[in-house]
């Protein structure tokens, strides 16, 4: 897609992350829904994929013409225990295989949180980076890109010790394999960052996924209380401008984890509102 789509957002750039209607629809219903609503691209949620298996999801997708931007998520490789490490790496390889099986462009990588057995962040981050480096050949052979996704600093305890675009860039510098490792930017995770504009420019073509969602002023949960674009405090158009100035011109993916609101609403209504907000608040 051309960068000319910058000011008015081309609706063909809309990608819906399955997690946005996680509680309402099975994967088959989700795929059918996308076609009914004329949405051409999706991101898939791996826990949902595992209910039926990657081969079955690949069969569901066949002939639909749907682009699959990514499979989300795998990683969680912060453990300091050697045996647990072997299991975690195996699981990550299976996720790479699943990504290839459903024809997704990238695998969303979530580092894992700090482990109570080693509270040192520097050594934890080093472990993750070493393990990622060890996966380079496996991912390359599978033809899969691994998208390093910084998560919000409030997830450092539970989900990810990768908490900024700067760290993602630093890791990419060390990994020296831009054909395999890219960066996923999510407005929810990065909006507070004092270094955001500079680090997005530094990332440039490393940015391979762009997620939008909003920060609610009365946020009630660290993970499952994200807002619809326009309902919160993030300058989403401002961040989109920065991401596009850095060279990104592909899909804009809507990813809303919302236990108290959107997961309780009729899925067709959610999608109708997503499409509206895509024009007015992204």
DSSP code string of 151-213: --GGGTTTTBS---HHHHHHHHHHH--TTTEEEEEEHHHHTT-TTHHHHHHHHGGGEEEEEE-
The residue (of 106 and 169) whose beta carbon lies closer to a second copy is: 169
Measured CA to CA, the distance from residue 173 to residue 184 in angstroms comes to 15
- Which one of residues 13, 17, 131, 152 is an interface residue with a second copy (CB under 8 A)? 152
Binding mask 172-191 for a second copy (x = CB under 8 A): -------------------x
Q: Does 137 bind a second copy (CB under 8 A)?
A: no
- Considering only residues 222 through 261, tell me which ones interact with a second copy, judged by CB under 8 A: 222, 232-235, 238
Binding mask 96-125 for a second copy (x = CB under 8 A): -----------------xx-x--xxx---x
Q: Does 141 bind a second copy (CB under 8 A)?
A: no
The residue (of 99 and 160) whose beta carbon lies closer to a second copy is: 160
Question: What is the sign of the dihedral through the CA atoms of 253, 255, 261 and 267?
Answer: positive
Helices 54-61 and 27-36: crossing angle, nearest 10°? 20
Q: Does 154 bind a second copy (CB under 8 A)?
A: yes
Q: What three-state secondary structure class fits 13?
A: helix
Give yes or no for a contact between 11 and 250, defined as CB atoms under 8 angstroms apart.
no
**Among candidates 67, 151, 161, 149, which has minimal Cα distance to 113?**
161
The residue (of 153 and 204) whose beta carbon lies closer to a second copy is: 153
Chain positions contacting a second copy, by CB under 8 A: 113-114, 116, 119-121, 125, 152-154, 156-158, 161, 163-164, 166-167, 170, 191-195, 215-217, 219, 222, 232-235, 238
């Amino acid at each position: 897609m051309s960068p000319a789509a910058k000011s008015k957002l081309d609706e063909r750039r809309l990608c819906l992350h399955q997690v946005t209607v996680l509680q309402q629809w099975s994967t088959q219903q989700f795929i059918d829904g996308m076609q009914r609503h004329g949405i051409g691209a999706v991101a898939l949620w791996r826990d949902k994929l595992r209910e039926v298996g990657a081969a079955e999801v690949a069969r569901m997708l066949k002939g639909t013409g749907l682009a699959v931007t990514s499979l989300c998520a795998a990683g969680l490789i912060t453990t300091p225990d050697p045996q647990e490490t072997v299991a975690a790496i195996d699981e990550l390889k299976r996720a790479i295989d699943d990504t290839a099986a459903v024809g997704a462009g990238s695998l969303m990588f979530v580092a894992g949180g700090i482990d109570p057995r080693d509270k040192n962040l520097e050594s934890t981050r080093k472990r993750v980076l070493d393990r990622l480096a060890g996966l380079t050949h496996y991912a390359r052979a599978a033809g899969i890109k691994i998208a390093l996704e910084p998560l919000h600093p409030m997830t450092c305890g539970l989900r990810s010790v990768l908490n900024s675009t700067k760290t993602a860039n630093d890791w990419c510098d060390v990994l020296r394999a831009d054909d395999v490792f890219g960066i996923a930017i999510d407005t929810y995770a990065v909006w507070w960052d004092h270094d955001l504009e500079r680090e997005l420019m530094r990332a440039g073509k490393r940015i391979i996924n762009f997620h939008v969602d909003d920060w609610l002023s009365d946020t009630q949960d660290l993970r499952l209380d994200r807002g619809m674009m326009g309902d919160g405090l993030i300058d989403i158009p401002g961040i989109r401008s920065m991401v596009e100035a850095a060279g990104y011109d592909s899909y804009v993916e809507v990813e809303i984890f919302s236990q108290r609101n959107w997961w309780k609403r009729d899925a067709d209504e959610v999608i109708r509102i997503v499409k509206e907000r895509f024009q007015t608040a992204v």
